[in-house]
């Protein structure tokens, strides 16, 4: 009977992705515009961000270059609706469609991010597109946006390739490598690339650096990405240590505790922390909780009822009692 690791990638998770993007390290940033409309005044102190973007759309819906539409949609959860000043009640997908029609490639990426596998959306010009097609189209319109490559890499399955509009055919690794080349400070791209490498496998970046998955996760953390802690906690063995860029030498146990401190809802980190503990040990989390192996596994299952690995490990833990 053996306990198993959980690999957790918060870039595929939406958190949320993205946003995500994700959840995360691969997070798309809301956009700004320098165009201002001073014909109407708004009491900013009485309005929240969503209301401000509703007001921006109301005041000049065709000349916001799509940013207000995208920013409003990015603040909304799946299925949530908002009423516009003209009385329309819309979801975030409809807002992103409007943003795309106004010339915002990032709106296509947001659409691809919020759509689930198998879903599609109809654009204003009548085209029907699924997740991957949306990201491919975004890259066609703006081939320098690293986030588009990251999100397309998330959408492409292991062993699959996808053809871009310029003729390039790329797999997951190549898409994440391209994202890193376009933005060497994209912590999410390092995390995602590390997540698709097998143990001991290496990859050569465009700047000549050769890195394995551990090195990529360490680089992600150096760039202020927090997902790297969870991935390192999964990749490391119980007795191994990793030296981070800031000089900290951390064990698997340290990594898992750090991952939980940044994301208390990370089910896999609770499971992996158990694998770094002895039979009768407890773990003290950053929030002061002192937890046994069983309590950690119960928490892992509570946070993610679909986490089969945590269920299996909890069963083994209960059997030993």
pLDDT in tens, 124-174: 999 999 999 999 999 999 999 999 999 999 999 999 999 999 999 999 999
pLDDT in tens, 163-212: 999 999 999 999 999 999 999 999 999 999 999 999 999 999 999 999 99
- Angstrom distance (rounded) from CA 86 to CA 296: 50
DSSP 190: H
- Angstrom distance (rounded) from CA 176 to CA 32: 26
4, 309 in Cβ contact below 8 A? yes
- Angstrom distance (rounded) from CA 30 to CA 107: 10
Question: Is 70 exceeded by the pLDDT of residue 37?
Answer: no
10, 172 in Cβ contact below 8 A? no
Percent of the chain with pLDDT over 90: 80
Question: Is 70 exceeded by the pLDDT of residue 7?
Answer: no
Q: CA nearest 287: which of 262, 268, 261, 258?
A: 261
Q: Which residues, including other chains, have CB under 8 Å from residue 203's CB and lie 6 or more apart?
A: 173, 177, 193, 197, 210, 211, 212, 216
Span of 46-55, 56-65, 180-189 with lowest mean pLDDT:
56-65
Percent of the chain with pLDDT over 70: 85
DSSP 198: P
8, 230 in Cβ contact below 8 A? yes
Which tokens hold the place of 166?
């310029």
- pLDDT, average across residues 241-247: 97
Question: Is 60 exceeded by the pLDDT of residue 235?
Answer: yes
Q: Quote the pLDDT of residue 39.
A: 35
Q: What is the pTM of this model?
A: 0.83
């Amino acid at each position: 009977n053996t306990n198993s690791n959980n690999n957790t990638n918060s870039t595929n998770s939406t958190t949320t992705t993205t946003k995500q993007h994700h959840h995360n390290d691969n997070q798309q940033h809301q956009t700004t515009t320098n165009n201002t409309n001073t014909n109407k005044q708004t009491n900013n102190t009485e309005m929240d961000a969503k209301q401000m973007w509703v007001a921006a759309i109301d005041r000049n819906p065709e000349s916001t270059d799509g940013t207000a539409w995208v920013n409003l949609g990015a603040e909304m959860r799946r299925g949530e609706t908002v009423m516009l000043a003209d009385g329309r009640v819309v979801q975030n997908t409809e807002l992103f469609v409007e943003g795309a029609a106004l010339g915002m490639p990032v709106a296509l990426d947001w659409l691809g991010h919020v759509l689930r596998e198998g879903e599609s959306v109809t654009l204003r010009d009548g085209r029907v597109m699924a997740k991957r097609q949306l990201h491919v189209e975004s890259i066609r319109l703006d081939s320098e946006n690293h986030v588009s490559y990251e999100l397309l890499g998330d959408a492409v399955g292991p062993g699959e390739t996808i053809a871009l509009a310029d003729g390039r055919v790329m797999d997951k690794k190549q898409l994440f490598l391209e994202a890193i080349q376009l933005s060497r400070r994209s912590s999410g791209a390092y995390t995602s690339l590390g997540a698709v490498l097998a143990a001991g496998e290496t990859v050569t970046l465009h700047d000549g650096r050769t890195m394995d998955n551990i090195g990529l996760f360490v680089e992600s953390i150096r760039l202020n990405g927090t997902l790297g802690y969870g991935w390192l906690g999964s990749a490391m063995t119980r007795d191994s240590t990793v030296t981070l860029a800031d000089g900290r030498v951390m064990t698997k146990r340290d990594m898992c505790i750090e991952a939980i401190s940044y994301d208390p809802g990370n089910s896999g980190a609770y499971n992996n922390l158990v694998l770094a503990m002895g039979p009768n040990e407890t773990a003290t989390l950053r929030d002061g909780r002192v937890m046994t192996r069983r309590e950690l596994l119960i928490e892992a299952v509570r946070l993610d009822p679909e986490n089969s690995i945590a269920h299996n490990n909890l069963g083994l833990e209960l059997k030993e009692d």
